Amino acid sequence: MRPAARIASAIDILARLEAEDRPADGLIRGVFRANRYIGAKDRRAIGDLVYGVLRHSARLDWWLSRAQVGAGGARGRVLAELTLAQGLGGAEIASLFDGDTYHPPPLESAERALLEQLDGAELDHTEQPDWVRLEVPEWLLPGLREALGDDQEILALGHTAPLDLRVNLLKAERAAVRQALAEEGIESAPTPFSPWGLRVTARHALPALKAFRDGLFEVQDEGSQLVALLSDARPGLSVADLCAGAGGKALALAMTQGGEGRLVALDLDARRLERAGPRLARAGVDFVETRVLVDGDPWLDQEAGSFDRVLVDAPCSGSGAWRRQPDARWRLTAARLEQYTQSQAEILRIAAGLLRPGGRLIYATCSLLPPENRDQATTFLTERPDYRALPLGDLWREQLETPYPGDECPALLLTPLRHGTDGFYLAVFQRKVGP
């Protein structure tokens, strides 16, 4: 595809995103599946422009409102123009918007005037309110500042996320997998905290690699790896992954158990859980039980008090993963956040019933918002005096040689700026033995 045709395709995707309440990543994948002729480089260029718009949409919209352009369904087109203007001059952009076949129509006078106004200028402006400058919904800004304390932390949620891999130690050591990747032309480096992780320095079609097909690694953010590691799912223990989804953390737990003990992967969504099967097979894991939970499932009563570890990677706002899904911040509403917090509280109650005395409940979210994290932990401990919070610093030092990166409060909050991971909250509660 010519560069102008790539821009036209990106503008079409932006128009669909504005018309449909759908996550951008799913919509983009659907467009590419329906248009197999779009090559890998074209897909990358189209995706870069779309995500460039999404990462800067608050500031871009602010400029549009000042210039009073982008009405009548043309918003996505002008946002794309302004995003291109961060690297191209107005004349270059005008040459791409030439109206040729499969190219965007020529620029209108108002669009030219706005591009001239932004020529060489940053998207930031002294008149922008803080929520616009920080690219977060205004109603969420107080909570993010409370949790993170630093606007630079909030700005980091708009950066591009790295690509992390978790080495499957059931099949190979990290150094060997790094070498296998290098032989296939993939450069990587060890992750700074997780002893299982490799950070890839560029994007690649990983499923096409022999190392992937052989089950030597899985794609998994370092923060997720640390959640699994700090769950301390040792060989011989009985472990439940209560919100297993497609099995990412269950795979890591299976690795730490070494095939010894019991591991049950549970989820309400049968389709997501089905995707765990091929991943488990590729990793060489054959001892994991999977179960789709239903309302009032008798299994929960039958298994009450029988587990040593229960991992709750709770459904949440996903605010810690906004680097990967920048549009998600604008689709989150107060009503949806309330639904998440209610669901989290209910899942914690279910998880608490599954543990035997002395067992541990691991509560994690990929959120940075206090109602989903600190407030849930406080409420849980109030409602369940038979549980206590374990200091994460002590658990970290038992499992890892790297210095503990948090403070000494019971919970750990990982952030993109401080730790280079997705945003994660982790708390571990232990069921007391005796009164």
* Catalytically annotated residues: 366
Is residue 337 packed enough to be buried (19+ CB in 10 Å), middle (13-18) or exposed (0-12)? buried
In degrees rounded to 5, what are phi and psi of residue 13? -65, -40
Question: And the tokens for 275?
Answer: 């995707």
Cβ contact 198:181 at 8 Å: yes
Give the integer Cα–Cα distance in Å for 107 and 91: 11
- CA–chain centroid gap for 153, Å, is 16
CA of 139: how far to CAs of 22, 117, 131, 158, 317, in Å? 21, 30, 9, 17, 14
Task: Report the alpha-carbon angle 226-55-126, nearest 5.
Answer: 115
Q: What would you report as the CA-atom Rg of the chain, rounded to the nearest whole angstrom?
A: 24
Cβ contact 353:289 at 8 Å: no
Give 419's contacts (C-beta < 8 A, 6+ positions apart): 192, 193, 222, 223, 405
Give the integer Cα–Cα distance in Å for 201 and 353: 43
The DSSP bridge partners found for residue 218 are 166
Torsion of CA 8, 14, 16, 17, to 10 degrees: 160
Give the integer Cα–Cα distance in Å for 178 and 167: 9
Give the integer Cα–Cα distance in Å for 270 and 290: 10
The DSSP bridge partners found for residue 238 are 262
B/e letters for 215-244, b = 16+ CB within 10 Å, e = fewer, are: bbbbebbbbbbbbbbbbbbeeebbbbbbbb
What are the helix (H) ranges across 35-74? Answer: 40-55, 57-67
Question: And the tokens for 185?
Answer: 């032309």
